[in-house]
Amino acid sequence: MKRVARRRLTPDQYVDGILAGDRTVLARAITVVESDLPSDADIASEVIERCLPHTGRSRRVGITGVPGAGKSTFIEALGIHLADERGERVAVLTIDPSSPVSGGSILGDKTRMEKLATHERAFVRPSASRGHLGGVGRRTREVMLLCEAAGYPHVFIETVGVGQSETTVRSMVDFFLLLMLPGAGDELQGMKRGILEMTDLIAINKADGDNRRRAERARHEYQSALHLFPAAADGWNPQVVTCSALAGDGVREIWDVVMEHRALMESNGWFDRRRSDQALEWMREALLFGLEQEIRRDPAVGRRLASVQQDVLHGRVSPFRAARELLTLFRPPTPG
Ligand code: GDP
């Protein structure tokens, strides 16, 4: 499909619109941030830079779970609760780790969170990003910052719990929630230990109807599983609860846990500490990304890249040797 670039606004117009909380301008700015066009990169970085002083105050919550666990139902229920009952604004971003090979989308093209998406106090942005996860992470961070500058005190980042995108999301949020299905036995085995380890709260969803007892049993199993992990340095004990996103049961209690976590992290200094660590991590990633861009743009590398890739693909040259060759082309050793 050919993409037609819509007329761009000036950086001033983006920044003014975002700071005024204008959702249309915010959406258009995000398109620029997500764009691959080199001409957009400059606008994007200026807009982000100028929005930065207005960021950092939001609650950043990551939500993961296998497809069908009820993520969008849950986020919609929680979002509506915050927007309607508390009058607070909510932004929802999704990371869809679609396969760059198949081009398929795990989250699917179905319209998700319809009610929340049309709510005047909500902003729901499905990710258009495909391909390299590093790139997706960087862009999601930037989009998150724009949402914060636009005055959203809550930013939810949803990802599918199947790949490595959890780690990316964990590194940009304050609180990480894992939604699970009842019937824990099998899942516990399939679940990567790493995901449990970075979770602040496990919610066994669909604890309704016939599922109640199974959900309760699953809760016990996960609670015992979590006890096996060493105590977290930040002093937080991950909890396991049950909920029904569909019925709305347990949703506000989960939000209470998020608030409780925030209060503890703020009082024991871990909130600032984590945010500073994340800032360093973001810088490191931005540096690597920038460097990779430069290497790719280098004419000497450009002339060789395709054929070196073929050599690696067909096993004629090891990946390490290939990388060394390209690095040498990029920065030839100085004689002497
Ligand atoms: P996602 O893929 O994780 O975003 O899952 P969805 O939110 O799309 O939910 C998948 C299916 O499970 C949908 O048919 C939902 O209606 C259903 N579902 C979600 N939450 C609940 C729940 O709490 N109870 C029940 N019974 N069904 C639910």
Residue whose CA lies nearest to ligand 1 atom number 22 = 206
Test site for ligand 1: of 246, 249, 253, 254, most ligand atoms within 8 A of the Cβ = 246
Name the strand (E) or helix (H) holding 68. none
pLDDT band with cut points at 50, 70 and 90 for residue 190: low
Q: State the sign of the Cα–Cα–Cα–Cα dihedral 65, 69, 74, 76.
A: positive
Which residue, among 60, 63, 44, 64, has the nearest Cα to 52 in the 3D structure? 44
Q: Which of 17-21, 35-39, 43-47, 300-304 has the lowest mean pLDDT?
A: 35-39
Q: Is 162 in the pocket of ligand 1 (CB under 6 A)?
A: no
pLDDT digits (tens, 9 = 90+) for 100-138: 444 455 555 556 788 999 999 999 998 755 555 456 678
Ligand 1: atom nearest CA of 179 is 3
Ligand 1: atom nearest CA of 245 is 23
Ligand 1: atom nearest CA of 243 is 23
- Kindly give, in sequence order, each residue whose CB lies less than 8 Å from that of residue 325, ignoring residues fewer than 6 positions away: 304, 308, 317
Q: State the sign of the Cα–Cα–Cα–Cα dihedral 73, 78, 84, 87.
A: negative
Tell me the three state secondary structure of residue 124: strand
Residue whose CA lies nearest to ligand 1 atom number 27 = 206
- Kindly give, in sequence order, each residue whose CB lies less than 8 Å from that of residue 196, ignoring residues fewer than 6 positions away: 178, 202, 222, 225, 226, 229
Length of the chain: 336
pLDDT digits (tens, 9 = 90+) for 117-126: 999 999 999 8
| More confident site: 318 or 99 | 318
The single-letter code of the amino acid at 234 is D
Q: Which pLDDT score, from 0 to 100, does residue 102 have?
A: 45
Give the whole-angstrom CA distance, residue 83 versus residue 90.
7
Q: Which pLDDT score, from 0 to 100, does residue 166 have?
A: 79
Residue whose CA lies nearest to ligand 1 atom number 10 = 68
- Does the pLDDT of residue 22 top 90, yes or no? yes
Helical H segments across the chain, by residue range: 11-19, 23-34, 38-51, 71-80, 114-117, 133-149, 165-170, 184-190, 193-197, 212-227, 251-268, 270-297, 299-313, 319-330
Q: Which residue has the tokens 């360093």?
A: 280
Q: Which of 27-41, 124-138, 148-162, 221-235 has the lowest mean pLDDT?
A: 124-138
pLDDT digits (tens, 9 = 90+) for 257-286: 999 999 999 999 999 999 999 989 888 888
Give the whole-angstrom CA distance, residue 106 versus residue 117.
20
Mean pLDDT, range 284-310, rounded to an integer: 90
Q: Which pLDDT score, from 0 to 100, does residue 99 have?
A: 46
Tell me the three state secondary structure of residue 215: helix
| More confident site: 227 or 55 | 55
pLDDT band with cut points at 50, 70 and 90 for residue 155: very high
Q: Is 165 in the pocket of ligand 1 (CB under 6 A)?
A: no
Q: Is 244 in the pocket of ligand 1 (CB under 6 A)?
A: yes
Which residue, among 19, 107, 128, 112, has the nearest Cα to 64 in the 3D structure? 107
- Distances in Å between the Cα of 116 and the Cα atoms of 37, 50, 127, 146, 256 are 31, 29, 16, 19, 20
Q: Is 239 in the pocket of ligand 1 (CB under 6 A)?
A: no
pLDDT band with cut points at 50, 70 and 90 for residue 153: very high
Give the whole-angstrom CA distance, residue 180 versus residue 262.
22
Chain mean pLDDT for the chain = 87
Q: Which pLDDT score, from 0 to 100, does residue 144 have?
A: 95
Are the CB atoms for 19 and 149 separated by under 8 Å?
Answer: yes
Q: Is 108 in the pocket of ligand 1 (CB under 6 A)?
A: no
Measure 69 CA to ligand 1 centroid, in angstroms: 6
